[in-house]
């Protein structure tokens, strides 16, 4: 899905199953089919993550997507003009030169998350198979290990899942099963800053344990990390980690906040202007329909921004369910996998691993917003 730079209330999304591009207005949720696909370059397969590059200009990629199919990074141009939507390999497999991997260094094995380290002009990738954080030069494509068993001191990683850069403290925060690790951006040294559930003398912080983190984002103003995780096979929730104490608190779950519960959250982004988290859920409301949800950070209340809502009675097939936004819904076979929020434009960029699409969603409640493209 792509945000329409000429109209901040629209996003563009592709549906490879039906060979269409859809525009989604995030204020109203309306969706409109377009006749032609957008941009040239290699097709995306099994997109796992997306990140936005700051200060992009014409001819430069403004977004980076991580392909789970070939463990490679691709750039996409979001700048208005004839090259809008164009795609090019940044690091890893290059379809135009399949016998030569782009960039030197260790190849990614099972990349799970992607974040931009703007101060050092590089990308950071969490690789859950190798249990390392890999630094990638977006210009050369070169890869190097920032932190892992052989690089940096401190406790070993354990099933790493999500990353968020804390630039003010020169570190990247790595959420893993069982805790949160801070990694020095210069040395790669690791330090546990949150662990356990507070019942053991070796635990760090109190509150709900970090069990199966999926995605994380930094809330700088409140010195905390927001993360979504699964707490069993059927339910997910939004929680916070205090970066000073390691204390953990549930913000939204079955018992906290109103609205339909999260089921399979895939990504969380912070919308500071509206004091809310924006979450992509691949099975929100207990269906296979992908949905974008807003969570009030004070109350934990959940509401649909774009996608399906059960309606006032909270039940499907009762006659009052709603599709937020007009036009076609997200493709029924879509598997939304990650999202990146452009706070300045108010646009959420969402990856669909099933169709290989990047979708832009305008999260504002303006006339015509909420449309998916």
Q: Global pTM?
A: 0.84
Which residue is it, tokens 């979504």? Answer: 228
pLDDT class of 322 with cuts at 50, 70, 90: confident
Q: What is the pLDDT of residue 190?
A: 99
- The number of beta carbons lying within 10 Å of the beta carbon of residue 163 is 24
| Most confidently predicted of 187-196, 283-292, 317-326 | 187-196
Show Cβ contacts of residue 205 under 8 Å, excluding neighbours closer than 6 positions: 193, 194, 195, 196, 198, 241, 242, 245, 246, 247, 248
Please state, in angstroms and rounded to a whole number, the distance separating the CA atoms of residues 158 and 239. Answer: 20
pLDDT class of 33 with cuts at 50, 70, 90: very low
Taking a C-beta distance cutoff of 8 angstroms, is the pair 166, 173 a contact?
yes
Instruction: From 298, 257, 303, 259, select the one nearest 279 (Cα to Cα).
Output: 303
Classify the C-alpha dihedral 154-155-159-163 as positive or negative.
negative
Per mean pLDDT, which range of 18-27, 84-93, 108-117, 126-135 is the poorest?
18-27
Is the pLDDT at 3 greater than 80? The verdict is no
Q: What is the pLDDT of residue 77?
A: 82
DSSP for residue 53:
-
Taking a C-beta distance cutoff of 8 angstroms, is the pair 344, 365 a contact?
no
- The total number of residues shown for the chain amounts to 373
Please state, in angstroms and rounded to a whole number, the distance separating the CA atoms of residues 208 and 333. Answer: 33
Per mean pLDDT, which range of 16-25, 31-40, 133-142, 215-224 is the poorest?
16-25
Show Cβ contacts of residue 233 under 8 Å, excluding neighbours closer than 6 positions: none
The stretch 131-150 carries a mean pLDDT of: 96
Strand partners, 162: 175
The mean of the pLDDT values for the chain is 80
Domains of the chain: 2-362 (2.120.10.30)
The pairing of strands 47-52 and 31-34 is unpaired
Count CA atoms within 13 Å of residue 172 on its CB side. 31
Q: What is the pLDDT of residue 194?
A: 98
The stretch 324-340 carries a mean pLDDT of: 66
Please state, in angstroms and rounded to a whole number, the distance separating the CA atoms of residues 49 and 115. Answer: 9
The stretch 27-40 carries a mean pLDDT of: 50
Q: What is the pLDDT of residue 341?
A: 77
CA 9 and chain centroid, separation: 20
Q: What is the pLDDT of residue 59?
A: 58
Taking a C-beta distance cutoff of 8 angstroms, is the pair 85, 373 a contact?
no
DSSP for residue 274:
G
Is the pLDDT at 32 greater than 80? The verdict is no
- Both tokens of 150, joined, read 């052989």
Is the pLDDT at 56 greater than 70? The verdict is no
The stretch 57-63 carries a mean pLDDT of: 66
The stretch 298-314 carries a mean pLDDT of: 81
Query: Each residue of 263-274: pLDDT tens digit?
Result: 889 899 998 888
Query: Each residue of 211-227: pLDDT tens digit?
Result: 999 999 999 999 999 99
Q: What is the pLDDT of residue 281?
A: 86
Q: What is the pLDDT of residue 346?
A: 72
Q: What is the pLDDT of residue 348?
A: 75
DSSP for residue 183:
E
Is the pLDDT at 58 greater than 60? The verdict is no
Coil, helix or strand at residue 328: coil
Taking a C-beta distance cutoff of 8 angstroms, is the pair 158, 176 a contact?
yes
Taking a C-beta distance cutoff of 8 angstroms, is the pair 299, 255 a contact?
no
End-to-end CA distance of the chain: 6
Coil, helix or strand at residue 285: helix
Q: What is the pLDDT of residue 51?
A: 87
Query: Each residue of 230-251: pLDDT tens digit?
Result: 887 668 999 999 999 999 999 9
Is the pLDDT at 356 greater than 90? The verdict is no
Taking a C-beta distance cutoff of 8 angstroms, is the pair 12, 4 a contact?
yes
Please state, in angstroms and rounded to a whole number, the distance separating the CA atoms of residues 129 and 89. Answer: 22
């Amino acid at each position: 899905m792509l945000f329409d730079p000429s109209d901040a209330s629209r996003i563009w999304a592709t549906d490879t199953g039906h060979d269409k591009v859809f525009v989604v207005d995030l204020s109203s949720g309306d969706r409109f089919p377009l006749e032609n696909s957008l941009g040239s370059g290699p097709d995306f397969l099994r997109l796992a993550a997306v990140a936005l590059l700051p200060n992009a200009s014409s001819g430069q990629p403004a977004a980076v997507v991580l392909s789970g199919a070939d463990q490679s990074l691709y750039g996409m141009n979001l700048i208005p003009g004839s090259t809008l939507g164009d795609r090019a390999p940044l690091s890893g497999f290059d379809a135009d030169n399949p016998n030569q991997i782009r960039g030197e260094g260790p190849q990614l094995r099972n990349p799970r998350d992607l974040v931009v380290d703007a101060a050092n002009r590089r990308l950071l990738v969490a690789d859950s198979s190798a249990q390392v954080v890999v630094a990638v030069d977006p210009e050369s494509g070169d890869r190097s290990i920032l932190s892992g068993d052989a690089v940096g001191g401190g406790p070993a990683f354990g099933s790493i899942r999500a990353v968020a850069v804390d630039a003010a403290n020169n570190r990247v925060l790595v959420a893993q099963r069982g805790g949160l690790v801070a990694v020095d951006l210069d040395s790669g040294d690791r330090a546990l800053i949150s662990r356990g559930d507070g019942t053991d003398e070796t635990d760090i912080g109190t509150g709900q344990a970090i069990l199966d983190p999926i995605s994380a984002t930094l809330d700088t103003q409140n010195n905390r990390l927001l993360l979504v995780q699964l707490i069993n096979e059927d339910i997910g929730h939004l929680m916070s980690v205090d970066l000073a104490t390691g204390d953990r608190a549930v913000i939204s779950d079955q018992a906290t906040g109103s609205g339909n519960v999260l089921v399979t959250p895939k990504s969380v982004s912070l919308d500071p202007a509206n004091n809310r988290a924006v979450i992509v859920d691949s099975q929100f409301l207990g269906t296979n329909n992908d949905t974008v949800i807003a969570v009030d950070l004070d109350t934990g209340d959940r509401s649909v921004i774009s996608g399906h809502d059960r309606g006032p009675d909270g039940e499907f097939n009762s006659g009052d369910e709603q599709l937020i936004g007009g036009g076609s819904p997200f493709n029924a076979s879509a598997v939304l996998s990650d999202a990146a929020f452009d706070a300045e434009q108010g646009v959420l960029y969402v990856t669909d691993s099933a169709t290989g699409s990047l979708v832009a969603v305008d999260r504002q409640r303006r006339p015509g917003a909420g449309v998916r493209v």
